[in-house]
Homo-oligomer: A and B are copies of this chain.
Amino acid sequence: MTDAATNMRLKLPITCFILEIILIILFGTLVQYDHETDAKQWHNQSHEDYENDFYFRYPSFQDVHVMIFIGFGFLMTFLQRYGFSSVGFNFLIAAFALQWATLMQGFFHGLHGGKIHIGVESMINADFCTGSVLISFGAVLGKTSPVQLLVMAMFEVTLFAVNEFILLSILGTRDAGGSMTIHTFGAYFGLMVTRVLYRPNLDKSKHRNCSVYHSDLFAMIGTIYLWMFWPSFNSAITAHGDDQHRTAMNTYYSLAACTLSTYGMSALTAHDGKLDMVHIQNAALAGGVAVGTAGEMMLTPFGSMIVGFLAGVISVLGFKYLSPILEDKLKIQDTCGVHNLHGMPGVLGAIVGAVTAALASTDVYGGGLSDVFPDVASGDVTATKQGGIQAASLAVTLGIALLGGLIVGFILKLPIFGAPPDTICFEDSIYWEVNGDVSPAVD
């Protein structure tokens, strides 16, 4: 089940080694401890140990880390014969992307005397950027080689950093949980890549493009971890104090409301009134995506629940009615349905964020306005203008994602990366040693 084209004996080692050696050289040249991780600098200053940012953010970082490696990794194990690749390629490209993201984000977010300074906040940001790559991975799942995925990750991380720089640093956009920078960007980038990589004969692998009983249970591990730790994700880089606290709580209630609307919609739309695991595994998470921008704002639990409720509804409707249209009419083969989990809910989140920002006032935020909307607090822009900036940022993000995905998609079409043939998609054994008996349920 291997032919020369998909054989990874040289392609993958060469790619891994070259990338890692480049990373090591660049880290050696460019990267330094920041003042909270450097022994000398930390001890040069006068402060208490508990003021170190580590104690404010490391628990959140670890939750985010779990979402990236367990959450995304296991969510995609729902395919019956693609569990090794789902967890394993997720692992590989995330380990690469977080290193590359450290450099790209460090470069764009401001050098210090030509050096990139890193600490727990940059680690979280690197994981966030990695998350965006993994969303795109979901769109092309089962149809790409590990070398293609690494190449995609390299370009996508770079473009992510460019978009993030434009939004956060140039425009002054607020997007702590990444409805735009992470979810919208990752989804539409991935959708465009999978469009360019369209496989007219993917039907030949159709019998493997579904779940078996236990693969769905493995996927639920991913779902539940993503769901539980989303409050930590959205609050991981918000300001210390009330901001982290409020963001986590808004997300918590959004997700809870989203879960109820997902179950309701699933039973309503699925065959015979039965619940569909695809909906539960994915749409129940849309509530986290949809408060990614507004979660840190004074959205209130009430507002969060309305947003979460709507996110669940549109996500299930997307899986049921829109995905087949995207595939049939637009030739977008979106394996995991990232358009429904990250795309539409991300756009919803951007809009909610724009509206909530436009309504901001000192009356509501008091002295906390400068944490959430520093440009409004300083008088540089009005709240209405901030809302407009937020909306414009969505357009910028969509533009960069789609254009970037288009270009990267064509790069990935080069026949040198060892992509699987249409007949052997969604199949681990093309890239992995798989013992004789695999799973009784296949072929």
Contact = CB atoms under 8 A, between A and B. Distances in A.
Given A24-B309, A366-B41, A84 B302 contact: no
B44 A274 contact: no
Contacts of A17: 260-261, 264
Interface string A7-26: 11111111111011001100
B242 A52 contact: yes
Contact of A268 (B13, B53, B212): B13
Contacts of A268: 9-10, 12-13
A87 B39 contact: no
Contacts of A2: 272-274
A369 interface: yes
A83 interface: yes
Contacts of A298: 33, 38-39
Given A24-B257, A301-B27, A242 B56 contact: no
Contacts of A220: 73, 87-88
A314 interface: no
A40 B9 contact: no
A245 B120 contact: yes
A39 B88 contact: no
Interface string A71-94: 001100100000110011001100
A242 B43 contact: yes
Interface in A424-438: 429, 431-435, 437-438
A112 interface: no
A297 to B, nearest CB: 9
B432 A12 contact: no
A398 interface: no
Contacts of A108: none
A437 B441 contact: yes
Nearest to A43: B367
A410 interface: no
**Central interface residue in A7, A224, A367, by most chain B CB within 10 Å:** A224
Given A63-B62, A260-B92, A263-B92, A433 B39 contact: no
Contact of A9 (B37, B210, B272): B272
Interface stretch (A135-143, A225-233, A382-390): A225-233
Contacts of A364: 39-40
Interface in A21-71: 23-24, 27-28, 31-33, 36-44, 49-56, 58-59, 62-63, 65-66, 69-70
B77 A217 contact: yes
8 contacts: A12-B264, A12-B268, A39-B365, A40-B367, A41-B242, A83-B214, A212-B435, A440-B441
A432 B257 contact: no
Interface in A341-398: 364-369, 371-372
A185 to B, nearest CB: 22
